[in-house]
Chains A and B, each alone.
Chain A
Amino acid sequence: MEKGTWTLKTGLAQMLKGGVIMDVVTPEQAKIAEEAGACAVMALERVPADIRAAGGVARMADPTVIQAIMNAVSIPVMAKCRIGHFVEAQVVESLGVDYIDESEVLTPADEANHIWKHDFKVPFVCGCRDLGEALRRIAEGAAMIRTKGEAGTGNVVEAVRHMRAVMGNIRKLQSMSEDELATEAKSLGASLEIVQEVHKTGKLPVVNFAAGGIATPADAALMMQLGAEGVFVGSGIFKSSNPEARAKAIVKATTHYQDPQVVAEASRDLGEAMPGLEIGSIPENEIMATRE
């Protein structure tokens, strides 16, 4: 009997596909998310919009918060650690969470290196802005990828930019001839082997979700139509005026993303969405997506 294998790590992400993973900060919010049909929750101390507002250094959540959320729900629980902070990852793994997000939403602990994720039994998800970044994270052991978007903004524009970059680059790779792949691997900053695999299969070797700025059912369906295999919704749910209804509506729109009538129905009478942020109004040093 084998545990902690690559198949089991990537396999859990495959089971999450077509679903919505919601940021929660209390057991009560976790229960609302589960009841709405979330396929997993992300246990946090603060949602990204509040991290952005608070400023300062954002770190992993208090283990008490994570454990209270794990005890409250039966669906998978994820938790975040800082980029490169492998001890935070060890701590979160020891709590028994189902997935770790090595996340740019927290303040990076290492500006040069990400965590070597193959050393862990627990699977990791990492953010990316383009194909090269995705393939670098997978090489380090990320068993799931999410496009970064710009967390805590309620503005989907960066999520769209990053998903288009990844999918467009995959299409470009597919159309290249074998003898062009080595140079392309070099420019992507990824190994030739993994680039050859994407060239052959036309998809990432792991599941890819969208994240960062999704606030409405239509945003979720948009990301799915652009090629996401599921969505993360952070501040978008619990910063809105009616989290229960909005959570349920986003789940429904993610499942029926190809059916505009269902998305329309899901979009009705949800109250106010979270207040959005224009990306241009964010000072450059407060942009989270550029943290790699």
Chain B
Amino acid sequence: MKKIGVLALQGAFAEHEKCLAQIGAKAFLTRLPRELEHLDGLIIPGGESSSIGKLINDYDLAFALQSHIVNGLPVFGTCAGMILLAKQVIGLDGQFLGAMNIVVRRNAFGRQVDSFELDLSIPVLGEPPFHAIFIRAPWIENVEPEVEILAQLPDGTPVAARQSNILVASFHPELTNDTRFHDYFLSMTERREKCKK
């Protein structure tokens, strides 16, 4: 059984825990650097990126996260998690973990009254379309060539992407009963195991 950490500093970590249980993975709520050891993957959940971004500075957690990701730990960031992983964040000075070569705009769609949900075609997940829930969501403003865009809004705005071991989405698969996104992430952890062997 795969051991997947869920960064549990603030936000919707319990929802990811539930999704992982549904697909037969074991979730570990992770708050301290030592809890990152021996994981097959890590999810950085939705929440308030500004809040999580402050809390990762305690106990050298940011440094520990960065080194695990550089060493190939598969990581999946949803909404705030995507903001934390981006190399550059617009609407904020600098970056948090700076692990992925994307530029992300925070609160890109506006305030809560502009939050929305819609069915989104995501080719790597197949049919039917994925029901995507955007809450004060960020979007991806720019990507470097090594980044694969996985989903776009009808107007072409990228809202999900992957760069080797890093997977991100602007929206919240953990708020739906559709586990295809989590299954896809779990398949990324399988491949890592093969590489290690």
Contacts and interface: CB of A to CB of B under 8 A. Distances in A.
A15 B114 contact: no
Given A15-B47, A37-B50, A252-B58, A121 B113 contact: yes
Contact of A74 (B46, B47, B50): B50
B76 to A, nearest CB: 16
A76 B136 contact: yes
A38 B111 contact: no
Nearest to B29: A258
Interface in B42-77: 46-48, 50-51, 54-55, 58
Nearest to A255: B9
Interface in A7-34: 7-8, 11-12, 14-19, 34
Interface residues of B, number: 36
A4 interface: yes
Contact of B47 (A8, A19, A96, A252): A19
Interface stretch (B11-19, B96-104, B121-129): B11-19
Interface in B1-37: 8-15, 31
B167 interface: no
A290 interface: no
B58 to A, nearest CB: 7
Contact of B48 (A5, A19, A35): A19
B182 interface: no
Interface in B80-113: 80, 91-92, 106-107, 111-113
Contacts of A8: 112, 115-117, 133, 135
B17 to A, nearest CB: 12
A99 interface: yes
Nearest to B92: A74
A122 interface: yes
Contacts of B11: 15-19, 39
Contacts of A37: 10, 50-51, 54-55
Interface string B127-170: 00000010110000000000000000000000000000000000
A237 B92 CA distance: 25
A134 B47 CA distance: 24
- Interface residues of A toward B: which range? 35 or more
Interface centre among B47, B115, B136 (most CB of A within 10 A): B115
Contact of A255 (B31, B116, B117): B31
Nearest to B91: A74
B136 A7 contact: no
Contacts of B13: 17-18
B79 interface: yes
A12 B135 contact: yes
A259 to B, nearest CB: 8
A259 B8 CA distance: 13
A254 to B, nearest CB: 8
Nearest first, the 4 closest Cβ-Cβ pairs linking A and B are A37-B54, A98-B112, A39-B48, A18-B10
17 contacts: A2-B116, A3-B115, A8-B112, A8-B115, A11-B135, A12-B135, A15-B11, A15-B46, A16-B47, A17-B11, A19-B51, A36-B54, A37-B10, A37-B55, A39-B50, A76-B136, A259-B31
Interface of A: 1-5, 7-8, 11-12, 14-19, 34-40, 74-76, 93, 96-99, 121-123, 248, 251-252, 255-256, 259
Interface of B: 8-15, 31, 46-48, 50-51, 54-55, 58, 79-80, 91-92, 106-107, 111-118, 133, 135-136, 172, 175
Given A19-B48, A19-B51, 12 more contacts: A1-B116, A1-B118, A3-B115, A18-B8, A18-B9, A18-B11, A37-B51, A38-B51, A39-B50, A97-B112, A251-B51, A251-B54
